[in-house]
Amino acid sequence: MSPVRVLLVDDQALFREALAVLLGASDGVDVVGEAGDGSAALDQVAALHPDVVLMDLRMPGLDGIAATRRIRAEHPATRVIALTTFDDDADVFAALRAGAVGYLLKDVSSERLLEAVRAAARGESVLQPSVAAKVVARFAQLPDVEAPQPLVDPLSGRELEVLRLLAQGRSNREIAAALFLAEGTVKNYVTNVLGKLGVRDRTQAALRAAQLGLLS
């Protein structure tokens, strides 16, 4: 399998360098370039065609949200993960509306960051637990246009446990530790949960679960 090609975008050179060392030392990940602002990021994406962009949001010139919107419009195969210091509502929802498939804070563990990069390359979404809570809470406040249809194939008790931890932004490894399961077993449960909910990724699963009242 080809390594995941990653572009780092941040206006702090020291942070980019540290991130490049971290990711470069990991199997299956290849840091193909760096950029210090949104405009440079657009040029690098066009030239390098990365699979995943780790995007800071608050940068001089073209900021990360505007750059994300351009990247998703012009290079739809490239996935963008917001990697920032802030998790206020305005940044979170602006980044997701712009097309970011993930939102992580810079204090994220190296393990979670690597898992997020690989998940994004597979087409999945990844959210920091605090961000996942904001998204689910915001969704729960929206008025129901019509009553949600019940699941054709209901979730088992164990699948429901996995879903609730997934909706908190927990990784497969964290879910496995919480439920005393093998990580591979959790992966199978997550696949089953997504299939039963009729969604493509973990964020959509959390939103669908909130709509169906499965998280209480």
What local confidence, expressed as pLDDT, does residue 146 receive? 52
**Residue 43 vs residues 6, 35, 72: alpha-carbon distances, Å:** 14, 9, 14
Indicate the pairing of strand 102-105 with strand 126-127.
parallel
Residues in the chain: 216
pLDDT for the residue numbered 99: 86
The whole-number pLDDT of residue 34 equals 94
Domains contained in the chain, CATH given: 4-127 (3.40.50.2300), 139-212 (1.10.10.10)
pLDDT attached to residue 37: 92
pLDDT given at position 166: 86
Instruction: Give the DSSP H/E element, type plus range, for residue 19.
Output: helix 13-24
What was the pLDDT predicted at 31?
A: 93
pTM as predicted: 0.74
> So what's the pLDDT on residue 203?
78
Query: Rounded CA gap, 166 and 160, in Å?
Result: 10
Residues of the chain with pLDDT under 70: 136, 138-150, 216
Task: Transcribe 71-101 into DSSP letters.
Answer: HHHH-TTSEEEEEES---HHHHHHHHHHT-S
C-alpha 168 chain-centroid distance = 13
Residue 162, SS3 per DSSP:
helix
